Amino acid sequence: MIRINCPYCGERDHSEFNYGGDATIKYPSLNSSEREWTEAIFFRKNIKGFQLETWHHSHGCRMWLVVERSTVTHEIKSVKPCHPDFQKVVENNK
């Protein structure tokens, strides 16, 4: 079991969460080329090692999180709220 330290709820089993995917994807502007949109939607780095990824605490607070996790050892380095404003709130409340 992977244990994810949710900034809102505390440390929980990963079975409470749903895996989202690559957290570094940035969608291009609406008038970008077909090629750029294809890259953003379909093409992935598929990192072997530490990556930033999203998880949804669907059986908890239902918040989206950004997790830095190794895809080889499953070790987790950091867990933060997805939204930058929530990140600030969590930081201030520490």
| The amino acid at 81 | P
- Give the integer Cα–Cα distance in Å for 25 and 38: 12
Other Cβ atoms within 10 Å of 9 Cβ, number: 13
Q: Using the rule CB under 8 A, which residue among 10, 29, 45, 85 binds other proteins? A: 45
68 makes contact with other proteins (CB under 8 A):
no
Instruction: Tell me which of 31, 73, 92, 93 binds other proteins, using CB under 8 A.
Output: 73
Using the rule CB under 8 A, is 34 a contact of other proteins?
A: yes
Residue 31 within binding range of other proteins, rule CB under 8 A: no
Choice from 21, 58, 78, 89 touching other proteins (CB under 8 A): 21
Residue 64 to residue 59: CA distance in whole angstroms: 12
